Amino acid sequence: MNAIISASELASALTGEHPPVLLDVRWQLSTPGQPRFDPRAAYEAGHIPGAVFVDLDRELASAPGAHGRHPLPDVAEFGTAMRRAGVSSGTPVVVYDGGQGWAAARAWWLLRWTGHPDVRVLDGGLPAWQGPLETAVPAPAEGDFEPAPGAVGLLDADGAAALARSGVLLDARAGERYRGEVEPIDPVAGHIPGALSAPTDENVAADGRFLPAEELAARFKSLGAAEDTRVGVYCGSGVSAAHEVLALAVAGIPAELYVGSWSEWSSDPSRPVAVGPDPQ
C-alpha cells in the first residue's frame, strides 16, 4: 500500500463507500525567541471537512525528559486519543498537517508502529487541498483501535549507535546541524558518530510534495540505503526523522526510527559526538 495519498485521491475517498478517518496534526517546531505556534487555533480557523485535531505534543509524545523532547507517548493514552478521534483498525486513516509533512509523518509512524494496517499521509499537506474548509468541530463515533506496539522498527540510543557501524544511520536534520555549525535547540552540536547527513527537506519538491519514488530511491541508494540494507533514521526529536522514514517507505525501503534522536543522545555526556562533514 502506498504510504501517501494525493489531494485528488483523498477527495475521491472522502465521498466513497468507506471514507477514511481524517486527522489534522498541524504543528511547528518551537525555537527560543520565536512566537509559539497554536495548532488548535489554526485547526479551528479552517480544516478539511470531517478532520479531527490531534495534538502532537500532548497525544503523539510524552513529556520532554531524559528520553528526548518528543519521547514515545504512553501507549494506552495514545490508544485513547486515537479512539476518541474515531480511529478503528478496520477503517483507513489519512493524516495531514500544514504542509511541512513532519507532524503528519509522526502520526503515520506511530499508527504503523502500533499496528494500524491502513494509514497514509496527504502529500503536500493542507496547502495541496483544493476543496472547501470548515470550522465546525466534528464529534466522531468512538473508534475501536487497540495499539499493539512493535509492528515496525524502533531504535534506542544503543541500537542507533550500533546501526551506524553495521548498517546505515541517516541524520534527517539540516546539514549545518549535522556538522555542528549551529544548534538552536539542543545542548550539544554535532551528530552520532557514523551517521550520514540526509536532510529530509531534500526529499520534497518546492511545493512540499515528495519527489517521485524513483528519485527518492536513487538518493537513498547513493547513501548506501537500499531494500537489503538495515536503515535507521534520527533527527532532533523524532519528528522530522519520521518524515524521512516516510520518504524511504515511498522509495520502497523499510527503515527504523530512533525516536529519542539527538535530543536524547546529546543529553548524555557519556555519548560520543562527531562534528564536521565526516560521519566519524
Q: For residue range 190-237, what is the model confidence (pLDDT) as tens digits?
A: 999 999 999 999 999 999 999 999 999 999 999 999 888 999 999 999
pLDDT beyond 80 at 29: no
Tally Cβ neighbours within 10 Å of residue 35: 7
pLDDT beyond 90 at 35: no
Res. 264 pLDDT band, cuts 50 70 90: very high
Instruction: Kindly report, residue by residue over 40-71, the tens digit of the pLDDT.
Output: 999 999 999 999 999 999 999 999 999 999 99
pLDDT beyond 90 at 28: no
pLDDT beyond 80 at 32: no
Cβ-contact 240, 234 below 8 angstroms: no
| 35: CB partners within 8 A, 6+ apart | none
Closest CA to 213 of 252, 255, 254, 246: 252
Tally Cβ neighbours within 10 Å of residue 92: 20
DSSP per-residue string spanning the chain = --SEE-HHHHHHHHTSSSPPEEEE-------TTSPPP-HHHHHHH-BSTT-EE--HHHHSS---BTTBSSPPPPHHHHHHHHHHTT--TTS-EEEE-SSS-HHHHHHHHHHHHTT-S-EEEETT-GGG--S--B-----PPP------S-SS-EE-HHHHHHHHHHSEEEE-S-HHHHTTS--SSSSS-SB-TT-EE--GGGGB-TTSPBPPHHHHHHHHHHTT--TTS-EEEE-SSSSHHHHHHHHHHHTT---EEESSHHHHHTT-TTS--B-SSS--
pLDDT beyond 90 at 167: yes
Residues 76-81: what's their mean pLDDT?
98
State the pLDDT at residue 227.
Answer: 82
pLDDT beyond 70 at 27: yes
Selected catalytic residue, list 235, 246, 250, 257: 235
pLDDT beyond 70 at 31: no
Res. 36 pLDDT band, cuts 50 70 90: confident
pLDDT beyond 90 at 37: no
State the pLDDT at residue 143.
Answer: 98
Cα gap 99→227, rounded to integer Å: 28
State the pLDDT at residue 23.
Answer: 98
Residues 155-178: what's their mean pLDDT?
98
Phi, psi (degrees; rounded to nearest 5) at 82: -70, -40
270 catalytic per annotation: no
Res. 137 pLDDT band, cuts 50 70 90: very high
Cβ-contact 65, 92 below 8 angstroms: no
State the pLDDT at residue 30.
Answer: 67
Cα gap 255→280, rounded to integer Å: 21
Share the mean pLDDT of the chain: 96
Cβ-contact 125, 104 below 8 angstroms: yes
Residues 139-158: what's their mean pLDDT?
97
DSSP per-residue string spanning 98-111 = SSS-HHHHHHHHHH
pLDDT beyond 70 at 256: yes
In the chain, the amino acid numbered 33 is G
**What is the reported pTM?**
0.96
- In the numeric block, the cell 483501535 is attached to 145
pLDDT beyond 70 at 1: no
